[in-house]
């Protein structure tokens, strides 16, 4: 029988929750998705092999931790006119590599310096500041 294709939702769930459940991420994931422990172990093994998580201990004492893929320390001289996208493009983007298109090109125009951000009372998909993916661009 052919092995089932890995579910990207399971993989993403593990990556999002491994910091919260380092000692029992396998059990939590298995319960959430109705998968067997060996199936979850396969996901965890692949994530370890890809360098996205670390594993320590054996069997019952196995713990998983998310790896920091990028760690940056730098200073930014704050000044009038400095925009966050300039810091993003000049300092962060060159180090983060392969990002989804929606992060690289958010299609958000920077807010005016004169008006601070204010959360609108309600947003709908028709709101000009609501992006097509349902996130707010303000």
Helix (H, G, I), strand (E, B) or coil at 9: helix
pLDDT band at 1 (very low <50, low <70, confident <90, very high): low
C-alpha 18/C-alpha 54 separation (Å) is 10
pLDDT band at 59 (very low <50, low <70, confident <90, very high): confident
Residue 113 forms part of a structural domain: no
- Provide the residue range defining the domain that includes 32: 8-66
Residue 95 forms part of a structural domain: no
pLDDT band at 99 (very low <50, low <70, confident <90, very high): low
pLDDT band at 112 (very low <50, low <70, confident <90, very high): very low
Residue 22 forms part of a structural domain: yes
Residue 96 forms part of a structural domain: no
**In total, how many domains does the chain have?**
1
CATH of the domain at 55: 1.10.10.10
Percent of the chain at pLDDT > 70 equals 67
Name the average pLDDT for the chain. Answer: 76
For residues 17 and 136, the model is more confident at 17
- Please write down the long-range contacts of 116-124, taking CB distance under 8 Å and 24 or more positions apart: none
pLDDT digits (tens, 9 = 90+) for 62-85: 999 998 877 778 888 888 888 888
**Res. 119: pLDDT tops 80:** no
Residue 76 forms part of a structural domain: no
Residue 52 forms part of a structural domain: yes
Kindly calculate the radius of gyration of the chain based on its CA atoms and give it in whole angstroms: 20
């Amino acid at each position: 029988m052919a092995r089932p294709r890995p579910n990207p939702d399971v993989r993403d769930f593990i990556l999002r929750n491994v910091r919260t459940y380092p000692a029992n991420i396998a059990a939590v994931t298995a319960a959430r998705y109705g998968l067997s422990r060996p199936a979850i172990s396969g996901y965890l093994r692949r994530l370890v092999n890809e360098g996205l998580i670390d594993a320590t201990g054996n069997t019952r004492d196995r713990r998983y931790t998310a790896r920091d893929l990028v760690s940056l320390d730098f200073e930014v001289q704050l000044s009038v006119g400095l925009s966050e996208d300039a810091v993003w493009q000049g300092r962060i983007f060159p180090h983060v590599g392969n990002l989804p298109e929606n992060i690289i090109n958010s299609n958000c125009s920077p807010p005016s310096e004169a008006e601070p951000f204010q959360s609108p009372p309600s947003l709908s998909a028709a709101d000009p500041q609501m992006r097509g993916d349902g996130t707010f661009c303000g």
